[in-house]
Structure 1
């Protein structure tokens, strides 16, 4: 949002530091990601079963924005694919230093139309057995992550440039959790990610809000002080 005087809110830096009290535990962050992946894979399997007994084309139902369910699932599937791919691409320079900053930078690196097109293409690439493809991507991501010792934090090449694994991994958990909820809503399913996945995603949400300077507005809204502007999103 824009302030009354026309100025943009200044970013707030969360007190996240290596070994600090609010820093994610590396092992817990990996667990959250993998559990988010399992939740998503099971969800896609359930959609396949729903499609088999439904009179309409479940995959063609409205998903999110311009995406149908297939494109939404395809886009979400990329959270698994990109992690496995990027872990094999080391970087030399850190362009992104935090989870919140990743979302700010990625908004400038990839336009909405390109993101939408990638989702459609990813949905088509799922083929006739989306659940099988998703399970394979989850296993690839699991194996790629297992090759990196928990105590290591490699600098990997992402869409925004060099990013530490510790900053990038929570963005994948966030994508799986948020879009997982989008998918359940689109398909009329009553499913919720595990509690620790939601907690990890909520921390990412706060980090994004902090990076964009939205913490005061979010705090006031969530404590009932004032409403957020119509259409507000910490994602921009």
Structure 2
């Protein structure tokens, strides 16, 4: 009996995988999106902007501080690079460079000024800034260079530092205003935790951190990776 060669071949060979269309995944962009969306959601439910926020900040001050994680992305990309500025290779290097010039009073004052700049409708201002920042991030390639206070960085290197700020301070705002921390932050926490653990290693805090998160000890008083 004759064999239908073409039919036999079709039955015994695996189909070729479908071609993948569209741009490659950008997990750091999606983490930033999740964190900024969570911030906007929490801010929509705030009724008392002058209530205590974090430390010496009011809720308005704290919201203004974290809003800078939106507006600065756009501003730093638009600023272009500064000739002769050092290249800062990634989020850990950013924080290490920032520690050397950290100014608590300056940070506090910038937060207050940013809070005032939110105007009469802070949640609307923050939503506007979120939409603008996300649109810029979505259309900007990862290797685009931007100007930061500590040097030149790529977008992919800088963005995790803003996700860190957005996620942590959104949780601060939620707690300060009696809200649940949004579950949507679950998409951002892996990047936040990864960066925090890398900073702990750089600081010589890895053992303390690992022992605490595995139930083998408690963190020293005042422990922070920042």
TM-score range relative to shorter protein: 0.7 to 0.9
1:121 aligns with: 113
Displacement of 1:160 = 1.0
Deviations 1:140-194 (A, max 9, x none): 1122213313xx4122110111122222101111111100000011001112342
Q: What residue in structure 1 maps to residue 16 of structure 2? A: none
TM-score by length of 1: 0.79
Question: Which of residues 186, 201, 216 is equivalent to 1:210?
Answer: 201
- Counterpart of 1:90 in structure 2 is 80
Match of 1:181 in 2: 171
Segment drifting more, 177-186 vs 140-149: 140-149
Equivalent residue for 2:49, pick from 50, 56, 59: 59
Alpha-carbon distance in 1 for matches of 2:158, 2:115: 23
Counterpart in the other structure of 2:31: 32
* CA RMSD, Structure 1 to Structure 2 (Å): 1.7
List per-residue Cα deviations over 1:180-217 (Å, max 9, x = no partner).
Answer: 00001100111234211111211121122122222122
Matches within 5 A, 1:125-204: 125-149=117-141, 152-194=142-184, 195-204=186-195
Cα distance 1:67–1:42, how it changes in 2: closer, same or farther (>3 A)?
A: same
After TM superposition, the score normalised by the length of structure 2 is 0.83
- Closer/same/farther in 2, CA of residues 87 and 140 from structure 1, 3 Å limit: same
Q: Decide which moves more: 106-115 or 178-187.
A: 106-115
Q: Aligned partners of 1:35, 1:227: CA distance in 2, in Å?
A: 30
Are the aligned partners of 1:99 and 1:208 in contact in 2 as well (CA < 8 Å)?
no
Q: Structure 2 CA distance, aligned partners of 1:124 and 1:27? A: 34
Query: What is the aligned length?
Result: 200
Does 188-197 or 119-128 show the bigger shift? Answer: 188-197
Residues in 1 aligned to 2:44 and 2:218: alpha-carbon distance in whole angstroms = 38
Of structures 1 and 2, the larger Rg is shown by: 2
SS class of match (1:83): helix
Change in Cα spacing, 1:174 to 1:26, as seen in structure 2 (3 Å) is: farther
Between the aligned partners of 2:31 and 2:183, the Cα distance in structure 1 is 10
